[in-house]
Amino acid sequence: MKFAIFGNTYQEHKSAHVTHLLKILRKKNAEICISHEFYEFLRVHTQTDLSCLEIFNGNDFTADMALSIGGDGTFLKAASRVGEKEIPILGINTGRLGFLAAISPDEMEETFEDIYNGDYIAEPRRVLKLTCENNILKGCPYALNEIAVLKRDSSSMITIKAYINNELLNIYQADGLIIATPTGSTGYSLSVNGPIMVPQSGTISITAVAPHSLNVRPIVIRDDWEITLEVSSRSHNFLIAVDGRSESCHEEARLTIKRANHFTKIVKRKDHTFFNTLREKMMWGADNRI
């Protein structure tokens, strides 16, 4: 098998996990390629043996599986690089929560045994695509977690007219609006009281950030519906965040959000289920009285 490696480029003290990973892959006689920026980080900051690795830039790579070493943020960056290739991504968690990067470093050896035996799941997850009328967006338009429209300055709210299939849904006055996939429903969206959605539910949630109304509540819609947003603000601009990658946008921009034509495939061990992860990592339903 051939593996493409992406990693966190901020925490060199966790490089021992990379050394262990490369040792496991070399034992399996795997082909290994690595993103240029992660390779340089390891070369400068660690003593990891980087011999015989193929180095690639940007999205110019092919592999049977992508490996993300870090937390969920690293996983999201890897997913944006994999993009429409639909290469399965395995997340090895060296971060904190690790909801997407669900494999602990202690599980690596048995996980790769399962992978080489074909005993794993590559679960397809829906992706959102953001387009803008005047094509001003600079970054990747695809989001595995969420697309957020947020105020840019610190004081005044923004006004967001939201349409579903060209029918007015609501005019939000708030600090922002988060459009989340089921995968992203346990991320930023959850922190502003958005609903938890099962990955296979075929839905999208729309949740306001600090709305200036007691009557505004999250809403869940079908993921084959199209969302259009018109934003206005006192500063005449706002922020768009696509899986945390943010850029400034002028208020004349009309945004369209719909599901992408491709999936992101997340590699999971067969004993790692969504509900287990909710209970174990997010303490969902935990009662400290028991």
User: Is residue 72 annotated as part of the catalytic site, yes or no?
Assistant: yes
On whether both 163 and 248 belong to a single domain, the answer is yes
Residue-number span of the structural domain to which 7 is assigned? 2-120+269-281
Which one is catalytic: 72, 106, 243, 287?
Answer: 72
The verdict on 216 and 255 lying in the same domain is yes
72 known member of a binding site: yes
Q: How many CB atoms lie within 10 A of CB 237?
A: 17
Residue 186 to residue 278: CA distance in whole angstroms: 9
Q: Are residues 101 and 166 in the same domain?
A: no
Q: Does 190 belong to an annotated binding site? A: yes
Asked whether residue 287 is assigned to any structural domain, the reply reads no
State yes or no: 111 annotated in a binding site. no
Q: Which of the 8 DSSP states describes residue 195?
A: P
CB 37 within 8 A of CB 8: no
* Residue 142 CB contacts under 8 Å (≥ 6 apart), including other chains: 80, 83, 127, 128, 129, 130, 242, 260
* 60 and 85 share one domain: yes
Q: List per-residue pLDDT tens for the chain, 290 residues long.
A: 999 999 988 877 767 799 999 999 999 999 999 999 999 999 998 888 999 999 999 899 999 999 999 989 999 999 999 999 999 999 999 877 778 888 999 999 999 999 999 999 999 999 999 998 776 778 889 999 999 999 987 678 999 999 999 999 999 999 999 999 999 999 999 999 999 999 999 999 999 999 999 899 999 999 999 999 999 988 888 999 999 998 888 877 889 999 999 999 999 988 888 888 888 878 777 777 76
155 carries a ligand binding annotation: no
CA distances from 92 to 42, 68, 78 (A): 17, 6, 12
Both 102 and 200 in a single domain? no
Supply the pTM of this predicted model: 0.91
